[in-house]
């Protein structure tokens, strides 16, 4: 019996060794799959990082263009303000020099022109459109209504 027992122990030992080897092979297979997934994830992350960098660079360039455009607009606005101030000074000088112009400038605006300058406080494009459409359309000079 001892030979049989030794044979069974040997078989059990071989079976245990086979299970151990099989378990290690499974671990290696899982580790290889995890390595592949990690490599794929790293590649995806690098690609996404590259796209994000491209987007960030494009946004940075757009921001710089916007800043340049704003600076240009501020410069243009300053020039326009200077031109307006110069024109207003010229008008005031002309009023002081010319009595006809002074008298004309002192007159009230005609009713039609005064109505054009009247405007309520508007907020937004919809309010402006409603205000325009609600003012009452002006008739063309050649068309008369029969009311």
The answer to whether residue 115 is domain-embedded is no
For residue 109, what pLDDT is reported?
82
Q: Could you tell me the residue range of the domain that residue 69 belongs to? A: 2-106
Using the 8-state DSSP alphabet, how is residue 142 labeled? T
Would 28 be classed as within a structural domain? yes
Residue 145 lies inside a defined structural domain of this protein: no
Task: For residue 113, tell me if it sits in a domain.
Answer: no
**Domains of the chain: total:** 1
139 within 8 A of 145, measured Cβ to Cβ: yes
Rounded CA-CA distance 51/63 in Å is: 18
Task: Let me know if residue 40 belongs to a domain.
Answer: yes
128 within 8 A of 122, measured Cβ to Cβ: yes
In this structure, is residue 92 part of a structural domain? yes
> For position 115, what pLDDT does the model report?
76
Closest by CA position to 102, among listed 111, 92, 110 = 92
> What is each CA distance from 17 to 14, 24, 27, in whole angstroms?
5, 10, 15
- Please tell me the predicted confidence (pLDDT) of residue 145: 53
- Note down pLDDT in tens along the chain; length 147 residues: 688 889 999 999 999 999 999 999 999 999 999 999 999 999 999 999 999 999 999 999 999 999 999 999 999 999 999 999 999 999 888 888 888 877 888 888 888 887 777 777 778 888 888 877 776 555 556 555 554
Q: Looking at the domain assignment, is residue 84 inside a domain?
A: yes
pLDDT for the residue 63: 97
| pTM of the model as a whole | 0.45
Residue 129 lies in a domain: no
Please give the pLDDT value at position 92: 87
Please give the DSSP secondary-structure letter assigned to residue 135: S
d(CA 145, CA 139): 9
H helical segments located in the chain: 2-97, 99-106, 111-117, 125-134
């Amino acid at each position: 019996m001892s030979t049989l027992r030794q044979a069974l122990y040997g078989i059990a030992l071989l079976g245990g060794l086979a299970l151990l080897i099989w378990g290690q092979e499974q671990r290696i297979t899982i580790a290889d799959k995890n390595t592949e997934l990690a490599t794929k994830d790293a590649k995806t992350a690098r690609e996404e990082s590259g796209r994000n960098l491209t987007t960030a660079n494009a946004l940075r360039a757009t921001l710089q263009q916007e800043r340049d455009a704003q600076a240009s607009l501020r410069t243009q606005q300053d020039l326009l303000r200077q031109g307006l101030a110069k024109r207003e000074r010229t008008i005031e000088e002309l009023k002081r020099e010319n009595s006809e112009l002074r008298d004309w400038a002192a007159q009230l605006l005609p009713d039609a022109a005064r109505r054009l300058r009247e405007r309520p406080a508007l907020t937004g494009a919809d309010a402006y459109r409603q205000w325009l459409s609600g003012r009452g359309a002006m008739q063309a000079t050649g068309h008369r209504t029969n009311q």
